[in-house]
Amino acid sequence: MEFVICAVLIAGLLFLCGFELLDIMYLAAGIALLFLAFIGGFFALCLVLLAMSRRCEAVFVEIYDDPEYSRFPHAVYEIDGRRVRNIFPCEMIARKKLYVPGKKIRIFYCKPRNETIDKNAFLTIIFGSLVFIPAAVFSVAAIVRFISAI
């Protein structure tokens, strides 16, 4: 909601500064395409990291909560005596059921980044990519159709 209010305020200020409505629409379309590019890059990077990972057994150790490392807590797993953080922050809902200390699970270990990809991160990457691709195609087509109609 704050994003919409901020966008309306910026568009109003640009309009008051002398920009035409068409220029503001082109700017909004460009920003939307930039967001799509960033999100696409994020999911592409996640898929590359997933492809570079190998499956291994790990034991959940703890939830690591260090404000200097990240704003959100991360799950920590032990693989062959090494403690390795998960690539995504841990889930906040049903944390006690998902992260049971001492529980052995199969996860993906990304050696170049020395991070793990647990089941929740794996599902986020796969479903996020599957949802993003058609949404991005539809969004780009809608923006192109909108701009060409003007």
Phi first, then psi, for residue 33 (nearest 5°) are -65, -35
- Domains of the chain, by residue range, sit at 55-108
Q: Which of 108, 116, 75 is nearest to 92 (CA)?
A: 75
Query: pTM, whole model, 2 decimals?
Result: 0.78
For 73-85, the pLDDT digits (tens) are 889 999 988 999 9
For 5-57, the pLDDT digits (tens) are 998 899 899 989 999 988 888 888 888 889 988 998 999 999 999 999 999 99
